[in-house]
Structure 1
Amino acid sequence: MKPFDCIIVDDDEMDRLMVLSYAKRFLTLNIVGVFDSAEKALIFLETNSVDVAFLDIELKNASGLELRKKALAIPVCVFISSHSESAAETFELQTLDFIVKPFKFPRFEQTVKRIEEFMEIRTKVDLFEASLGGDTVYVKTGHDQIKVKLHEILYLEALKNYTILVTENKRHCVLSNLGEILLEEKFNSFLRVHRSYAVQKQYIQKIGSQEIELNNNIFIPVGRSFKDNLNLIL
């Protein structure tokens, strides 16, 4: 996989160095700029294009949110901030992930895997078409159509404008966002439990305050704004 050109924008020197040290552990991340303000980052972006931006929210003068609004052409944006209450607002700006400070390397590694998966999807997207009947949908890859049985899908995972249909043995990437898919009548057996996840109700084994356990020891996070959905099945 070709390395992704990345920038880091954070006005806290220790936080910048930590993100930089974590990013350098991955061959897929090529750091081309590290900045302590949105203004400096925007000057750089006038003559350079990047694939990934790691942004803090609170910056001197212009915020990370303002920077993102002016740099929506960057395919992947990850906010790294101690202000978790701003997470919902960032996702309205085509944000792929939100990391809450303080954090450790495993959390950053999880984000990088998400970035790699998303970028792979961008280069090879399967087209999604609902079937005309029965317990099936079709995933179109090139000239071929793969039939996927709805009852075999464990959960759905959102990646910006794409959705991953996860079965026990395979992950199907489709060009349709999670909200659009859940509006389809065929998917009424799925319950949205997080901004990025919807689970098949029949596979829920245990419901906790912060996560759901599905079959095969699969754990899905529960978003605070979606907890009321779980009350419908309790």
Structure 2
Amino acid sequence: MNKLICIVIDDEPLGRAVIETFVKEIPYLGLSASFEDPVEALAYLHNNAVDIVFSDIQMPKISGMELLRSLVYPPVVIFITAHRDFALDGFEAGVTDYLVKPVRFDRFLKAVNRAKDKISLSQMATLQQQIHTDRIFIKSEGKLVKILFDEILYIEAQGDYLKIIIPSGSFTTQVTLKAMEEILNLPNFFRVQRSFILNLEAVRSINGNTVELTNGKSIAIALNKKEELFSLLGIK
């Protein structure tokens, strides 16, 4: 499963250590780097894809606010500081949340979930912009991948992620099944149950309440979907 890539920036070792520990407690976060020096962090951000930045504000050389404003395409930022006075400036600069030290894990988790939701909405908007009549571009493993609609055999929901299966392999992307269902508003795609959308052209056979696809995959049909599926397949 793809993780949200994070970095931590704080000139205080104890502050960094606390946030690093919290990040490692959350399965869908991946810590790629941790910095004492914000200038080094800025260089890293210019050369690496990062989803979330956890940053102190008051630091030597440049502040967290200055770092954020210097980025042309900033990732989601959560400020972590001992000073409440910066909260308004932070929100005006576009930060997702603002945590005051000492940070409690429950408050950290709330901020991370807010960041995750913001990233999901952004990716949905990007996905919708990449739609063409016959293909879609998805973000998978840090790169944009072109998938032809005709290639898709089925799509499986895995939490906040989707696994898109084509004959040559599979791709995982962070989009909800509901969002993908709205995007794939095409006559040959059908949501056969809560966790699966299938390409009707990939159906090989139906046995009772199970549909078998051309790649051998068997998928259970929800009882309230069977009649509609049969109608779409022209089965009487």
- What is the TM-score when the length of structure 1 is the normalising length? 0.52
Distance 1:114 1:6 in 2: 14
Q: Specify the alignment match of 1:95 in structure 2.
A: 95
Distance 2:46 2:119 in 1: 23
Return the offset for 1:63. Answer: 0.6
Code of the residue aligned with 1:43 in structure 2: it is A
Q: Does the aligned pair in 2 maintain the 1:80–1:98 contact within 8 Å?
A: yes
Q: Specify the alignment match of 1:78 in structure 2.
A: 78
Runs of 4+ in 1 over 2 A off after TM superposition: 123-127, 141-144
Code of the residue aligned with 2:60 in structure 1: it is K
Return the offset for 1:82. Answer: 1.2
1:151-170 superposed matches below 5 A:
none
Given the alignment of the two structures, is residue 64 of structure 1 paired with residue 64 of structure 2, yes or no?
yes
Larger radius of gyration: 2
Distance 1:119 1:42 in 2: 21
Give the 3-state SS of the residue equivalent to 2:7 in structure 1: strand
Distance 1:43 1:55 in 2: 15
1:171-210 superposed matches below 5 A:
none
Give the 3-state SS of the residue equivalent to 1:46 in structure 2: helix
Code of the residue aligned with 1:124 in structure 2: it is M
Tell me the C-alpha RMSD between the 2 structures: 2.4
Given the alignment of the two structures, is residue 116 of structure 1 paired with residue 105 of structure 2, yes or no?
no
CA deviations on 1:127-163 (whole Å, 9 max, x unpaired) are 9xxxxxxxxxxxxx5598xxxxxxxxxxxxxxxxxxx
Code of the residue aligned with 2:21 in structure 1: it is S
Return the offset for 1:86. Answer: 0.6
Q: Specify the alignment match of 1:40 in structure 2.
A: 40
Distance 1:118 1:100 in 2: 21
Question: Please, which runs of 5 or more residues in structure 1 have no aligned partner?
Answer: 128-140, 145-234
Give the 3-state SS of the residue equivalent to 1:8 in structure 2: strand
Return the offset for 1:93. Answer: 1.6
Q: Specify the alignment match of 1:104 in structure 2.
A: 104
Give the 3-state SS of the residue equivalent to 1:94 in structure 2: coil
Question: Please, which runs of 5 or more residues in structure 2 have no aligned partner?
Answer: 129-181, 186-236
CA deviations on 1:30-84 (whole Å, 9 max, x unpaired) are 1111001211101212321211100100101211111111125233000001111
CA deviations on 1:70-122 (whole Å, 9 max, x unpaired) are 12523300000111111110112211000111121111111111122222222
Distance 1:4 1:99 in 2: 19
Give the 3-state SS of the residue equivalent to 1:80 in structure 2: strand
Distance 1:72 1:24 in 2: 28
Distance 1:61 1:75 in 2: 21
Q: Which moved more, 1:57-66 or 1:13-22?
A: 57-66
Distance 2:95 2:18 in 1: 21
Q: Specify the alignment match of 1:23 in structure 2.
A: 23
Code of the residue aligned with 2:43 in structure 1: it is I
Code of the residue aligned with 1:115 in structure 2: it is A
Distance 2:92 2:184 in 1: 34
Distance 1:80 1:91 in 2: 13
Distance 2:43 2:72 in 1: 15
Given the alignment of the two structures, is residue 8 of structure 1 paired with residue 14 of structure 2, yes or no?
no
Return the offset for 1:26. Answer: 1.2
User: What is the percent sequence identity of the aligned residues?
Assistant: 30
Q: Does the aligned pair in 2 maintain the 1:53–1:74 contact within 8 Å?
A: no
Distance 1:87 1:3 in 2: 28
Distance 2:74 2:35 in 1: 16
Code of the residue aligned with 2:100 in structure 1: it is V
Distance 1:2 1:41 in 2: 23
CA distance 1:5–1:85, shift in 2 (3 Å): same
